[in-house]
């Protein structure tokens, strides 16, 4: 169901791009905006893993530094028939984790010292299984596609803000339609992009639960992480909010990005879905 929802959302984002492109930029403007967005996001797709790891000062570790953490990732990668990802540690008391990398062969997982402190081994396995599920589902690629289309729409809207008023005067329009398109199109694109992100979180929860072997391990971890991240936000993420979507729980302080604009599904809903998986066995 989540895969179908992602497809529908991507189709909707594509349709929005076509409508906005023809309305604001015509075929030439639409092509230019798409090329700019593809170029920027192609670079990000190939380089974002190292960029985000540097952003959070993540340090690569081996089995000799943190044997339990490393062994959990190693076992889960074996179960998921995935190449062993690089394993990183972030020295931060806020409990959180993420995965990055353009494909399974170039994947990395990172956990904060905070998450290692508050979770037991089973809960940590649930979290790392969730992150490896993102790798297996190629969610970095899906995120890049949505970012490309959303970026192209925003670029078109910026073009429209420069040119629509003059064109409307020439055509005798009051400019209201163009202005609405300029301001509402990027918002609509952002909402669809965040809906895709939330959908992928549900799918990673489900696959992660199967990968670790017990949905309740991840459910218990999410409960602890929600409380921990609220009490202690990840301040490096506050400085780089565009990276919030890669974390297993929203790393931003309450009120910064909530409700409709959240990149993460409601925690209660995520936990209830995991608990329901147990009842379906």
The per-residue pLDDT for range 268-279, each reduced to its tens digit, is: 999 999 999 987
Tokens of 22: 């023809």
- Cα(135)–Cα(204) distance, rounded to whole angstroms? 9
Contact indicator for 236, 227 with CB cutoff of 8 Å: no
For domain 46-138+175-279, is the CATH number 3.40.50.1100? Answer: no
How far is the C-alpha of 139 from the C-alpha of 136, rounded, in Å?
8
* Pairing between β-strand 108-112 and β-strand 59-61 as defined by DSSP bridges: unpaired
Whether 169 and 239 have beta carbons less than 8 Å apart is answered as: no
Q: How many CA atoms lie within 13 A of 48 on its CB side?
A: 21
Instruction: Calculate Rg over the CA atoms of the chain.
Output: 20
CB-neighbour burial class of residue 247 (10 A; exposed 0-12, middle 13-18, buried 19+): buried
Cα 252 from chain centroid (whole Å): 14
Instruction: Indicate the domain borders of the chain.
Output: 46-138+175-279
* Measured distance CA(61)–CA(223) in Å, rounded: 27
Q: Answer yes or no: are the C-beta atoms of 159 and 43 closer than 8 Å.
A: no
Residues annotated catalytic, as ranges = 131
Sheet holding 59-61, edge to edge: 59-61, 86-90, 108-112, 97-100
Q: How far apart are CA 121 and CA 83, in angstroms?
A: 22
Q: What are phi and psi of 95, to 5 degrees?
A: -80, 115
Q: Which of 268, 248, 250, 150 is nearest to 200 (CA)?
A: 248
The whole model's pTM is what? Answer: 0.79
The DSSP result for 237-263, as a single string, is HHH-GGGGGGBSS--SPTTTS-GGG-S
Angstrom CA distances, 152 to 14, 84, 104, 206, 228, stand at 10, 35, 27, 31, 36
Spatial CA neighbour of 166 closest among 178, 156, 157:
178
Query: Left, alpha or beta for 244 (phi > 0: left; psi -120 to 50: alpha)?
Result: alpha
| pLDDT digits (tens), the chain, 281 positions | 556 666 677 677 777 777 776 666 667 766 776 776 667 667 666 766 778 899 899 999 999 999 999 999 999 999 999 999 999 999 999 999 999 988 899 899 999 999 999 999 999 999 999 999 999 998 877 777 777 777 777 777 776 666 555 555 445 444 555 666 677 777 777 777 778 788 899 999 999 999 999 999 999 999 999 999 888 889 888 888 778 888 999 888 755 444 445 778 899 999 999 999 987 76
User: Two tokens at 183?
Assistant: 């301001």
Going from the C-alpha of 21 to that of each of 34, 111, 112, 144, the distances in angstroms are 9, 41, 42, 20
């Amino acid at each position: 169901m989540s895969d179908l929802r992602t497809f529908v959302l991507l189709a909707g984002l594509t349709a929005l791009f076509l409508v906005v492109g023809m309305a604001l930029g015509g075929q030439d403007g639409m092509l230019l905006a798409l090329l700019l967005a593809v170029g920027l996001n192609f670079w990000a797709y190939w380089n974002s893993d190292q960029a985000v790891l540097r952003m959070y000062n993540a340090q690569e570790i081996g089995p000799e530094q943190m044997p339990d953490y490393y062994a959990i990732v190693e076992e889960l990668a074996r179960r998921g028939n995935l190449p062993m990802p690089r394993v990183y540690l972030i020295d931060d008391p806020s409990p959180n984790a993420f995965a990055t990398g353009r494909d399974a062969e170039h994947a990395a997982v990172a956990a904060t010292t905070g998450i290692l402190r508050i979770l037991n081994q089973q809960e940590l396995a649930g979290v790392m299984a969730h992150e490896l599920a993102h790798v297996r589902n190629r969610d970095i690629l899906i995120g890049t596609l949505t970012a490309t289309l959303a970026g192209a729409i925003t670029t078109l809207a910026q073009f429209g803000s420069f040119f629509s008023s003059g064109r409307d005067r020439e055509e005798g329009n009051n400019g209201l339609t163009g202005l609405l398109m300029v301001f509402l199109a990027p918002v609509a694109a952002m909402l669809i992009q965040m809906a895709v992100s939330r959908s992928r979180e549900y799918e990673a929860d489900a696959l992660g639960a199967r990968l670790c072997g017990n949905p309740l391990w991840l459910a218990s971890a999410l409960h602890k992480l929600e409380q921990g991240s609220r009490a202690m936000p990840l301040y490096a993420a506050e400085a780089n909010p565009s990276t919030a979507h890669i974390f297993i729980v929203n790393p931003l302080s309450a009120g910064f990005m909530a409700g409709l604009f959240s990149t993460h599904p409601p925690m209660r809903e995520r936990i209830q879905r995991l608990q329901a998986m147990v009842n379906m066995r």
